[in-house]
Amino acid sequence: MHKRITPKFFGRAKQLHSEMTPAEAKLWAHLRAHRMGDVHFRNQHAIGNYIVDFCAPRKKLIIELDGSQHLEQKEYDKERSVFLKSKGYQILRFWNKEVLNNTDSVLTVIWDTLKEEN
């Protein structure tokens, strides 16, 4: 276990990894194993007290997939985004439906963002 994470968050991240939503699983198939321009992504990655869906730590890029529950937790998402941005991360947010129905466009946005980093 990494020093940057408590056992509680490690267990929760591991649980979330094994219970990925269909949208997360679909996007992970494109991000895992350096498939996106040889960039290393982690899924269900803990940063502080938050677990993000996908993170490219060396690029300081976070990708979050939102379902309908995010309509009811806007304040929490805002607080979380403020914290993550304060740590130097850029955050891309996509709706689950976008990933499932328009994967190529989502991948294009991610790719374009990664190219801007160079």
Domains of the chain: 7-117 (3.40.960.10)
Residue 76, pLDDT score: 84
For 6-31, the DSSP string reads -HHHHHHHHHHHHT--HHHHHHHHHH
Burial class (CB in 10 A: 0-12, 13-18, 19+), 84: buried
Residue 67, pLDDT score: 82
pLDDT tens-digit profile of 8-36?
555 555 555 567 889 999 999 999 988 88
> Residue 1: which pLDDT band, with cuts at 50, 70 and 90?
very low
What is the value of pTM for the model shown? 0.81
pLDDT reading at 110 higher than 60: yes
